[in-house]
Amino acid sequence: MRFGPDVASSLALLSLYTVLINQASGLFDDSFKGRRFICHYTTWSRTRQNEGAYTIEDIPGNLCSHVVYNFVAIHEKTYEITAMQPEFDIEENGFRRFTTLKDKFPNLKLLAAIGGWGHGGEKFSKMTETRDRRKRFVASVVKFLHKYGFDGLEVVWLYPGNFERGGNVTDKDNFYYLIRELQKTFADTGRDWEVSVQVPADKSRLDVGYQIDALCEAADFIHVIGYDLRGWWNNFADVHSPMADRPHDEGNFVGLNVEHGVNLWLQGGCLPSKVVLGVPLFGRTYLLDTPEGNSIGSPTIGAGSAGEYTNEPGYLGYCEICAILPNMTTRWDEKAQCPYAFNTIEWIGYEDERSLRAKIEWVVQKRLAGIYAFSLDLDDYRGHCGEPYSLTRVIHKYYEETKKQSLVTWP
């Protein structure tokens, strides 16, 4: 296409205007700077059979603003940061192969996640218990980030103050001290490192483990886990990342949804520009009690069958779900803004392109910092059902669009 001189100069003016608005808005609100789409890489997905094996070199760094390495650990004796799977992280150069993704994707930020479900909470509780241990831990993190070239740390303590997972009533304060000390030390290094915290959405956990206001102030970003809110352990069929309450939500399930969970953080004093919503690229699965009882909320008798790749009952990656959907009946729950699927035996609550769009629109409307998705190796990464990474691409597309849109329409 060719433009005459008039058109060309008005286009130049228009883009100058956009730059000016952008700069002016930056004076009042820097939320657009923080807009992010965080992808997650998991080391354990490398052991899948044949072409299912997911490697660091598979990571689509062009689709994400950040990628997180899951997981590193706390050493149970020294309380320093340590590799969780040294045979891979170190001997097979997992850390270094991961951080050299920067050569290929220069704008990509690379974080290490410490903790996770399997790691448990006890080592966090013990490490944060005294000032000396925290100091030692923080110093080891600085060395670690320098050594391997990571851009920051995501702390995944599941969950402070949870006695069943080795917690203590003192965790709530100690967790805040840890994050504040990490943040302060990172700032002192003069590096652009960040400390983010992965946090739950349910009020009962927040009450015992999180100083919402102070923690939010100390952390660079708060990553709210907007999934796993339901599962086969509840003995009724449901989606696990509902946006809002549904008529069948009763008792503890009232308010256990994405909107309410994120709002707890915002009402607790968190700036929206620090809050990132976590979305799942997997489903939670169930065995139905009766073939006819397949509506949402129907009784279930256990976990659905394990998938070929993910190999865990009650849990399927979207890469596994999309392949069986053609043989299942699919439905949409309007209030949850989530899809589910069933046959006469199994029931799956999951996330698809439509439900992700609904979540993204809500994130934009609430002016949150962005989205994180768990995880790349659960998306349809080999493209068995269409274009590879179909879900990751949906989020990436909106991320790119809203990044531009934010220059003009965000105050």
Ligand X SMILES: *[C@@H]1O[C@H](CO)[C@@H](O)[C@H](O)[C@H]1NC(C)=O
Residue pair 33/22 in contact by the 8 Å Cβ criterion: no
Query: How many residues touch ligand X (CB under 6 A)?
Result: 6
Judged by beta carbon, residue 107 or residue 327, the one nearer ligand X is 327
- Minimum Å gap between C-beta 327 and ligand X is 4
- Minimum Å gap between C-beta 307 and ligand X is 12
Q: Using CA atoms in the order 355, 359, 361, 363, what is the torsion angle rounded to 10 degrees?
A: -170
Fill in the DSSP letter of residue 102. Answer: H
Cis amide bond preceding 355, omega within 30: no
Q: Is 129 in the site for ligand X (CB under 6 A)?
A: yes
- Minimum Å gap between C-beta 132 and ligand X is 13
- Minimum Å gap between C-beta 174 and ligand X is 8
Choose the stretch contacting ligand X; rule: CB under 6 A; options: 48-56, 258-266, 309-317, 319-327: 319-327
Q: Tell the residue number behind the tokens 């352990």, with chain if given.
A: 233
Could you say which of 21, 323, 385, 407 contacts ligand X (CB under 6 A)? 323
Cis amide bond preceding 159, omega within 30: yes
Q: Alpha-carbon distance 166 to 163, whole Å?
A: 5
**Segment 195-254, which members bind ligand X (CB under 6 A)?**
none
Residue pair 262/277 in contact by the 8 Å Cβ criterion: yes
Q: How many CB atoms lie within 10 A of CB 192?
A: 10
Q: Alpha-carbon distance 367 to 409, whole Å?
A: 11
Judged by beta carbon, residue 125 or residue 355, the one nearer ligand X is 125
Query: Assign residue 149 a region: left if phi > 0, alpha if psi is -120 to 50, beta otherwise?
Result: left
- Minimum Å gap between C-beta 74 and ligand X is 15
- Minimum Å gap between C-beta 49 and ligand X is 17
Contact pattern from residue 149 through residue 188 relative to ligand X, giving x for each residue in contact according to CB under 6 A and a dash for the rest:
-------------------x-x------------------
- One-letter amino acid of 298: S
Judged by beta carbon, residue 170 or residue 409, the one nearer ligand X is 170
Binding residues vs ligand X (CB under 6 A): 129, 168, 170, 323-324, 327
